[in-house]
Amino acid sequence: MSVDQANVRRIARLARIAVSDDEVPHLQDELNSMLAFVEELSAVNVDGVEPMTSVIPMKLALRKDDVRDQAGSSVVTANAPESDDNFFVVPKVIE
């Protein structure tokens, strides 16, 4: 797969990154080299290799899944500065 300059601009717009026209060719080269590396990784034969979580064999700690008594919503919102119908009321942050 290859990335063209239109794709670089689209990726930058989706990521909300300001990219000047001078930077587009460099970013195109960078993205294409990353994609080439990923394609190289897909060529590696991993048949018979177990997935692992660490280079050191370790067993994951498991706990029993017990149902516990939970505080009701009225108890949780009791100390809130402002609540409405057992919901937290917060200031509006998006216009």
What is the count of structural domains for the chain? 1
21: containing domain: 1-31
HSE at residue 89, side-chain half, CA atoms within 13 A, is: 7
- Please indicate, yes or no, if residue 85 is contained in any of the structural domains: no
Name the residue with tokens 């689209």: 10
Instruction: Give 38-84 pLDDT, tens digit per residue.
Output: 999 888 998 988 888 788 888 878 888 888 877 788 888 888 899 99
- Please indicate, yes or no, if residue 8 is contained in any of the structural domains: yes
Backbone angles phi, psi at 71, to 5 degrees: -70, 145
Mean pLDDT of 8-35: 95
Q: At what angle do helices 5-14 and 24-42 cross, to 10 degrees?
A: 90
- Please indicate, yes or no, if residue 52 is contained in any of the structural domains: no
Q: Which one is predicted more confidently, 1 or 6?
A: 6
Largest CA distance in the chain: 60
